[in-house]
Amino acid sequence: MKKCFVFLFIIFHLAPYAQQQPKLVVGLVVDQMRWDFLYRYQDRYTAHGFKRLLAEGFSCENTMIPYTPTYTAAGHSCVYTGSVPALHGIMGNNWYDKAQKKVVYCTDDFSVEGVGSKTAAGKMSPRNMWATTITDELRLATNFRNKTIAIALKDRGAILPGGHTANGAYWFDNALGGWMSSTFYMQQLPAWVQSFNSRKLPDGYLQQNWNTLFPINTYTHSTSDSNAYENKLGGVSNSFPHITAHLTGANKYEVFKATPFGDTYTLEMAKAAIEGEQLGKSGYTDFLTVSLSSPDYVGHSFGPNSIEIEDAYLRLDKELASFFTHLDKTIGKGQYLFFLTADHGVAHNPGFLADRKIPAGVVDNAPVQKALTDGLQKKFGIQGIISSYINYQFYLNDSLINANKLDKKEIKNFIASHMLQQTSVLAVVDLENLANETLPQKLKTMLANSYNQKLSGQVQVISKPQWFENWRLGTTHGLWNPYDAHIPLVFMGWGVKPGKLNREVYMSDIAPTLSALLKVQMPNASVGDVITEVIGATPSSTNLSGVKK
């Protein structure tokens, strides 16, 4: 009788209690995905990809990036820390390090070595990121009994979302033609990764060549295939079919990343990770972070109005459908929490817009910078006043300025006067005196969220909408404008009811919202808010994310 009572207690109390948390959280960041791509090609999306996501999920339609410049590393960091560059320390993909007097890369770590490949691509870790991530906080909440696995073709797209405590972060190495990691995480690749690499899938994808999924004359959302706005894939052709089968050497893998097959490969790796790491079966909430880097490579090469991008998203829609089906079967429908977002958006090609009478342009930055450098030398009598210009910021050589007793304010004014003469420039801002600058409050806030006394430059250049520096073919991103800062955000699965929200929310709100859903502490530099409309659909529970199932 006593045994029967215990059995009934477990069935009716502990089992339902354990279901109050998802078995797995999957975060999918689509690199360079504009918000409107959720809808632009919807007439040919399948019922089980993006359409399923919107039908079953909760979409925050007006999600904005709260800082500038808008780059990949800063975006992934913001999504997972709930913070901004001013606080988490990832200023962009690269920035000028004042102490080292050189440009540094976001995930550089020369104290570690590559695992799986001994190239410099392995000297990477999250040590430059000062804050914890939601993935870190979940690991802390479970006393490190759950798992976090992070995957992306780009090192920064895997390393930063995985946080400081990931069980494994994997990125693509051109020399290897497969997935690698670093000694920050492990001493050798797990057997399942080695087995996956042995399949040499990128070589097989390249042999298929890249042609359109549908007849090319049906791609009515895009500019004609052969035009003057696009780069040539692999230096060969900017039009379909893209012949990749003949490529050789490490360069072929660089081309591979700029095809939709990169998404297929990454999601296949994600499926392998679920099996290889037994994600969702630990008895705690595991976390899988996936970043799809190929849309960014394709977009940079061809632009958002290209047939290549349209075809890439039609193919991605099918890959998403396959991935959702896999999650349903392996984890269980309703047992995983999924969210999709982007690290930034992207601008149209300036030439494409100018040809359609929309104000846009490109400035050749080299002569502008040379004229400024020469002017400063003539005015103040010394060389080297500017240490670096990167991320639209001028870094001044403070030690040189102080040693020569120069007037720093006068130098800043000289730079501003010179740059304001350029057609492309909208404003020049003294970041050290941002509070006194006359700017729209929203733009001032974005600049403040990116300013760090140790890591930022002193003078910020703000370009006119749709003006690029040195980028005539394809496209780029990085500015405050909505085309770069308006991103998708859709939650689906465990604890989420279908819905749509049109009020403005921010990229920095994602991690606090996940923290509230999972009932764990938000990351330690988080400045975002919980999106309460998403949380309102959550089952009531006082359970912590770590109850043994």
Token output for 305: 């109005």
Q: Does the active-site annotation cover 72? A: yes
Q: How many CB atoms lie within 10 A of CB 449?
A: 21
Token output for 474: 């394809």
CA distances in angstroms from 524 to 135, 451, 495, 520, listed in the order given: 12, 19, 24, 12
Q: How many CB atoms lie within 10 A of CB 258?
A: 26
353 close to 360: Cβ distance less than 8 angstroms: yes
**Of 168, 93, 51, which is closest to residue 344 (Cα–Cα)?**
93
- Characterize 95-125 residue by residue with b for buried, 16 or more Cβ atoms within 10 angstroms of its Cβ, and e for exposed: bbbbeeeeeebbbbbeebebbbbeeebbbbb
Under 8 Å CB-to-CB from 249, ≥6 apart: which residues? Answer: none
Where does 378-452 show beta strands of DSSP type E? Answer: 386-390, 393-396, 425-430
Under 8 Å CB-to-CB from 293, ≥6 apart: which residues? Answer: 31, 152, 153, 154, 157, 257, 262, 266
Which of these is catalytic: 68, 72, 148, 212?
Answer: 72
**Of 547, 16, 13, which is closest to residue 284 (Cα–Cα)?**
547
* C-alpha to C-alpha distance for 284 and 18, rounded to whole angstroms: 9
Residues paired with residue 536 on neighbouring β-strands, in sequence order: none
Residues in the chain: 549
- Catalytic site residues? 72
